[in-house]
Structure 1
Amino acid sequence: MSTHDRVINFGAGPSALPVSVLEETAKSLLNFSGTGIGIGEISHRSKEFTAVVNDLESLIRTQLDVPSTHTILFSQGGASAQFSAVVMNMLARYKLLHPEKTAEEVTMDYVVTGSWSKKAAEEARRLGGGQVNVAVDSRQFSKDGKSFDNIPSHESYKLSEDPALIYYCENETVDGVEFSHDLTASTSFPFHLLKQGSLVPLVADYSSSFMCRPIPRLADHAIIYAGAQKNIGPAGLTIIIVRQDCIVDVDAAAKLGTAPVPLMLSYKTLADAKSLYNTPSVISLYMTKLVLQRMKEKGGLPYFEEMNRKKAARIYGLLKEGGEKGVFERKVSDGSESWMNATFLVVGEGAEKRFLDGAEKQGMMALKGHRCACLMPLFSNYRIQ
């Protein structure tokens, strides 16, 4: 098999990457930027690698139009580490703002629409320091009363008066649901319910939809984070966009009674060291920079948003046609479908195995999803040529 005899990789994460990025990385493994040192060996303090970090930050800021009020940080640990980091940093912020409040008086709002937001809420409960209010749980509005198959309408939300954070996951990879891109739709995120005229503590997990399109009302978010491996790079890198009022002195908050925050989970540690407090995920940072550079050259987010729109329309059109013929069964309600990953069942005894075996013969791999469903990721940069 030659370098380019590659299958169509539908893996949801680690996702497929562009061949041009893999080829450039292969060269740089031996000699990065004319240094004579491989990218996996270069000092993260060197001027050559510092330039990579700066370039990546600039590519994200310009393409997403990140305002100067927000800092872009790079971390390790993936989205799962941010389940903890978000809680600890935002509780520290809240304590500094409200030193008189006890843990029993502090509330954290979670919008639970799938497996990942459910895990995030569970971590918040485990860590303590505040009460978890499930502002809405989409399972209550599902066809069977227990599945994550929809995004609830706006009138379903019950947000707290003054929460330390409001958390949602923009796209749920496992369940195939995503908040509508049309902010007038009832299945969009209800930004109009947020308290106006204040620094809203809104937190969003964008791991599986990062850089697929512009982020609605990005400036109104306190924190947006994304594990790179879903869309724009290999595993090991997490991108965190943090509003500067959320980069707080966690040690000062600990003196007032909050739990001490581990050094590497503190956003202030990362910000003060420009994301280089310790050795970062060097190769992941470099490859993600190459992917975003390629995105810019192809036209940036407008190009990719339109491409994703067309792919989603085509896939869901085929699933609808297959549903009418009794071949496929869609898992998600109308209006809640993900652009990133379409989940569906293949109907009939042994039909799923025949479908997957047939797909493999056509060079389509990793279509098997969770809980006896097929998962068809739609965005990965490798699949957009």
Structure 2
Amino acid sequence: MATDHARIANFGAGPSALPVSVLEEATKGLMNFQQTGVGIAEISHRSKEFQAFLGNLESLIRTQLDVPPTHRILFTQGGGSAQFSAVVLNLLARYRLLHPERNTEETVLDYVVTGSWSKKAAEEARRLGGGQVNVVVDSRQFSESGKAFDSIPPHAAYRFSPDPALIYYCENETVDGVEFSHDDASPASFPYHLLGGGTNALVPLVADYSSSFMCRPIPHLADHAIIYAGAQKNIGPAGLTILIAREDCIVDVDAAAKLGTTPVPLTLSYKTLADSGSLYNTPPVLSIYIAGLVLERMQRHGGLKHYEETNKRKAEKLYAALREGEGKGVLRRKVKEGSGSWMNVVFEVVGPDAEKAFLEGAEARGMTGLKGHRSVGGVRVSLYNAITEAEVDQLIAYIKEFVQ
């Protein structure tokens, strides 16, 4: 929907839309950050003003997500893809310190594969070595073709290892539009109850929350060892990665290397980040600044409760329109009922050249970023926090017009 800034509705999957008010405030900070006379992209990351801003960002995340004192909040670079490697190396180091007698053949890394990103994460774990990769479940086995990531598998299908170095899952698959339910009673929820070790065990559970971070509360947050998220979906521009790391996972990686595990590069070590207050090297200053402005705005608007309610309405309205279009044979949803993402809604337009006509019609009406990921095609609507209900209503009105 065009504004005075000649902006259109950006439904792209990332880098994603940001609130106009935040962008306006950020342009002021680019010229003069907090009355220092220096722009945010120029100021020293070790200045007292920036360090105070970083501390406030950490506080905003901790407060809104209710992060317990058992977990540290860290800031780094490299996006989710760098964490594919970092979580393996750090948690292998932790495992070696706990079990110095075990060799690579006796070390297992558990991966829940429900889409393109968790598949890539598992591939990186295999490439790095250091342990045997066990695919706990592969959701493609439950698709009609045996090849599509179109659902969350049933709890009975999961096969966790008795004592893995890590257990990895991706909460929301941006490419495939598949997401774990936040309702423990749902068959599409993550099966926390199947994790071993009893109630007091420090289970090495790792979650990629990149495309759903800060869109609603994180269930069982305290039960996770590591949660990470690239900022460029809901809370900022590309370049910043946020980590929520349990204290027992911030280990002396050099001590582990002396016991035979793979040495961890300094900038990938969680201990390096924690010991330096996320300032071992220059962090992505501008991305941190904009993320801070977004989090401040979220707090003013009612925090996660408000965004959870709004995002639920947005998704439900859109899925209802898609079901209607499916009933008329014009649209085809790509994800099974109950497993659909709130953030990335995927579907196909039926008929020769129909998808092209749909996308061109959307562009003509001021809506962009709707083309599906190049690996799977189709249409993808990303409903991140900055996408307003009015923009969703505009898209739904167009979908109904197109279906007619």
Q: Same fold (TM over 0.5)?
A: yes
Asked whether 1:49 is paired with 2:50, we answer yes
What is the CA-CA distance between 1:382 and the residue it aligns to? 4.4
Judge conservation of contact 2:16–2:384 (CA < 8 Å) in 1: no
Q: Which deviations, in whole Å up to 9, do the C-alpha atoms of 1:314-352 show, x marking residues without a partner?
A: 000000000000110000011100000100000111110
Report whether the alignment pairs 1:177 with 2:173. no
Superposition CA RMSD, Å: 1.0
What is the aligned partner in structure 1 of residue 401 from structure 2?
A: none
Superposed displacement of residue 75, structure 1: 0.3
> Which of 373, 376, 380 is equivalent to 2:381?
376
Deviates more, 1:371-380 or 1:225-234: 371-380
Residue identity in the other structure for 1:49: F
Show the counterpart of 1:144: 145
The aligned counterpart of 1:156 is: 157
Give the aligned partner of residue 87 of structure 1.
Answer: 88
For residues 46 and 384 of structure 1, the distance between their equivalents in structure 2, rounded to whole angstroms, comes to: 39
Distance 1:33 1:254 in 2: 43
Q: Measure, in 2, the Cα distance between the counterparts of 1:287 and 1:2.
A: 21
Alignment TM-score, normalising by the size of structure 1: 0.99
Structure 1 portions without partners, runs of 5+: none
Candidates 182, 198, 203, aligned match of 1:200? 203
Aligned positions of 1:1-385 closer than 5 A = 4-195=5-196, 196=198, 197-370=200-373, 371-383=376-388
Report the 3-state secondary structure (helix = DSSP H, G, I; strand = E; otherwise coil) of the residue aligned with 1:71.
strand
Aligned counterparts of 1:223 and 1:186: Cα–Cα separation in 2: 24
Distance, in Å, in 2 between the alignment partners of 1:379 and 1:268 is 32
Q: What is the distance in 2 between the residues matched to 1:103 and 1:287?
A: 42
Q: Structure 2 CA distance, aligned partners of 1:51 and 1:83?
A: 30
* 1:205-243 alpha-carbon deviations (Å, 9 max, x no partner): 000000010000000000000000011100000000000
**Identical-residue share of aligned pairs (%):** 70
Alpha-carbon distance between aligned partners in 2 of 1:29 and 1:266, rounded to the nearest angstrom: 31
Partner SS, residue 381 of structure 1 = coil
Measured after TM superposition, the shift of residue 4 of structure 1 is 2.0
Contact 1:19 1:382 in 2 (8 A): no
Q: Deviations over 1:180-218 (max 9, x none)?
A: 121111110000001223000000000000001000000
Taking the aligned partners of 1:382 and 1:332, their CA distance within structure 2 comes to: 22
What is the CA-CA distance between 1:3 and the residue it aligns to?
Answer: 5.2
Structure 1 SS opposite 2:167 = strand
CA contact (8 A) 1:228 1:234 kept: yes
Task: Say whether the 8 Å CA contact 1:345–1:374 is kept in structure 2.
Answer: yes
| Distance change (3 Å), C-alpha of 1:138 and 1:2 | closer
Q: Which deviates more, 168-177 or 2-11?
A: 2-11
Give distance in 2, aligned partners of 1:2 and 1:242: 40
Q: Is the 8 A contact 1:8 1:364 kept in 2?
A: yes
Task: Report deviation, 1:384.
Answer: 5.9
Pick which of 194-203 and 60-69 moved more.
Answer: 194-203
CA distance in structure 2 between the aligned counterparts of 1:361 and 1:51, rounded to whole angstroms: 45
Provide the rounded CA distance (Å) in 2 between the counterparts of 1:162 and 1:190.
16
C-alpha distance in 2 between matches for 1:284 and 1:178 = 26
Paired residue total: 385
In 1, the alpha carbon distance for the partners of 2:336 and 2:228 equals 26
Structure 2 residues without counterparts, runs of 5 or longer:
391-404
Q: Contact (CA 8 Å) 1:15, 1:380: kept in 2 or not?
A: no
CA distance in 2 between counterparts of 1:88 and 1:294 reads: 36
Deviation at 1:5, TM superposition (A): 1.6
Q: Aligned partners of 2:112, 2:247: CA distance in 1, in Å?
A: 24
Task: In structure 2, give the amino acid aligned to 1:146.
Answer: K
- Does the 8 Å contact 1:329/1:346 carry over to 2? yes
Amino acid at match of 2:193: H
CA distance in 1, matches of 2:202, 2:345: 35
**What is the rounded CA distance, in whole Å, between the counterparts of 1:268 and 1:205 in structure 2?**
20
Q: Determine the C-alpha separation between the residues in 1 that align with 2:235 and 2:333.
A: 27
Equivalent residues of 2:17, 2:384 under 8 A apart: no
- Name the amino acid aligned to 2:207: A
Residues of 2 paired with 1:81 and 1:316: CA distance? Answer: 33
